[in-house]
Amino acid sequence: MLNAKDVLNELRLKGFTFFTGVPCSFLKPFINCVIESHDVNYIIAPNEGDAVSMAVGAYLAGSKCVVLCQNSGLGNMVNPMTSLNYPFKIPFLLFVTLRGEIGIGDEPQHELMGQITSELLSTLRIPWDFLPSNIDNIPNALSKAQQNMNALGVPFAFIIKKGLFEKYHSNQKIDHSKPNKIGQIFGTFSVDRKNMPRIKAIELIKDSTLVNDALVFTTGKIGREAFSLGDSSNQIYIIGSMGCASGIGFGIHNVIPKKRVIVFDGDGAAIMRMGIFSVIGYYRPKNFVHVILDNESYESTGGQTTTSTTTDFTTIAAACGYNKCWRVEEQEFLKQVVPNLKMSDGPYLLHIKVANGSVSPLLRPNLSPMEVKNRFMYFLRNNKDC
């Protein structure tokens, strides 16, 4: 059996300091120990996919990350692991439990996943092993995992069987002292509005940024429009992993909180992973700007309608705890709003109604995802304190 503190200590010695995930009872002693160890960072994830996106952001900002989850949550990770970690070559350590292991007797909802956990990891081309049950074997196992991650640039998974960890005495209490503060909302949308071109909105915000700001663009045409306006090392164009840009941006901010991070999201993408609003509102990152460019459609895939016409992102974000939220439809109002985003009293949300359609010709980043990532990581490493 393993002692949670001993395992965490071995991880610390190997430099793993950023933890996130969704709990599983098989991991209870270890997760509780991580949460209560204040020299490492544990971020509560709304789902396992967002845990991956936050770990990716933290990795970009220079942290070594561990994602903790139940095997039932593996499905929630498949999209970012295939379309984000794989093309950008971003590793993390995954601790995944084995509910439903053949022969142990478990609840019916775990039966199938218990049979296919290792197969699923192999299908995802994620090297894996069982976490050793003897602490003496943990350092070597971690070294092997690290070598794999270095060589392949993909996650490495440790499968965790029932009863692997000894009981851990937890003192955790839910903290009700944190105020449930509802943010301020500014601006309104008119019924007969004429939405501004999306590229104009991106341009106005980009023009107001400083060279040290980190800009994260969601998948699809938003990133391509940003690239068309001008490329630079403080910009990362996310591909695939729809909805993950906000989690990635939050992960970056979490590791280097002085840095202003601006996420450019689409309405479809924001709706896909709305759980992250609750996380951002809970942790209240002060230099975090979440821009939603709302064309009321999935424009990148042909302009099909989203459900955003009846979704008020500012009310949702404010209710989750974003500090200041704006509804913007006029370019003049956008110009007035952008200076407010530098006041370090975020998180901020900018819900901008933009016209459907994109600029023509629309360029594509002429760098590979790995080149964009390496350049962006270099930028973050050399601009940590501003």
| Interface residues toward ligand TPP, by CB under 6 A | 79, 218-222, 240, 242, 266-269, 295, 297-301, 306
CB atoms < 10 A from the CB of 186, how many? 14
C-beta of residue 291 within 8 angstroms of C-beta of residue 265: yes
CB atoms < 10 A from the CB of 180, how many? 10
Max intra-chain CA distance, the chain: 69
What b-and-e string marks burial along 109-136, b requiring 16 or more CB atoms within 10 Å of the CB?
ebeebbeebbebbeebebbbeebbeeee
Alpha carbon distance 109, 184 (integer Å): 42
Question: What minimum distance in Å lies between the beta carbon of 30 and ligand TPP?
Answer: 30
CB nearer to ligand TPP: pick between 83 and 118: 83
CB nearer to ligand TPP: pick between 76 and 97: 76
Alpha carbon distance 208, 291 (integer Å): 14
C-beta of residue 349 within 8 angstroms of C-beta of residue 313: yes
CB nearer to ligand TPP: pick between 257 and 275: 275
Question: How many residues are listed for the chain in this entry?
Answer: 386
Alpha carbon distance 355, 225 (integer Å): 13
Question: What minimum distance in Å lies between the beta carbon of 353 and ligand TPP?
Answer: 12
Q: Could you tell me which residues come within 8 angstroms of residue 242 by beta carbon, excluding any fewer than 6 positions away?
A: 79, 218, 219, 220, 268, 269, 272, 273
Question: What minimum distance in Å lies between the beta carbon of 202 and ligand TPP?
Answer: 11
CB nearer to ligand TPP: pick between 75 and 163: 75
CB nearer to ligand TPP: pick between 4 and 202: 202
CB nearer to ligand TPP: pick between 295 and 383: 295
CB nearer to ligand TPP: pick between 72 and 295: 295
| Residue least distant from ligand TPP (Cβ) | 266
Question: What minimum distance in Å lies between the beta carbon of 8 and ligand TPP?
Answer: 33
CB nearer to ligand TPP: pick between 224 and 260: 224
Alpha carbon distance 348, 326 (integer Å): 8
Question: What minimum distance in Å lies between the beta carbon of 377 and ligand TPP?
Answer: 23
CB nearer to ligand TPP: pick between 171 and 304: 304
CB nearer to ligand TPP: pick between 206 and 259: 206
Question: What minimum distance in Å lies between the beta carbon of 272 and ligand TPP?
Answer: 7
Question: What minimum distance in Å lies between the beta carbon of 240 and ligand TPP?
Answer: 5
DSSP 8-class letter at 134: S
* Residues 181, 183, 186: CA angle, nearest 5 degrees: 160
Question: What minimum distance in Å lies between the beta carbon of 222 and ligand TPP?
Answer: 5
Which residues make beta-bridge pairs with 130?
159
Alpha carbon distance 270, 283 (integer Å): 18
Burial of 292 (0-12, 13-18, 19+ CB in 10 A): buried
Nearest to 189 by CA among 300, 315, 367: 315
Question: What minimum distance in Å lies between the beta carbon of 268 and ligand TPP?
Answer: 3
Question: What minimum distance in Å lies between the beta carbon of 209 and ligand TPP?
Answer: 20
Q: Which CA distances in Å does 297 have to 106, 109, 257? A: 43, 36, 33
Alpha carbon distance 286, 261 (integer Å): 10
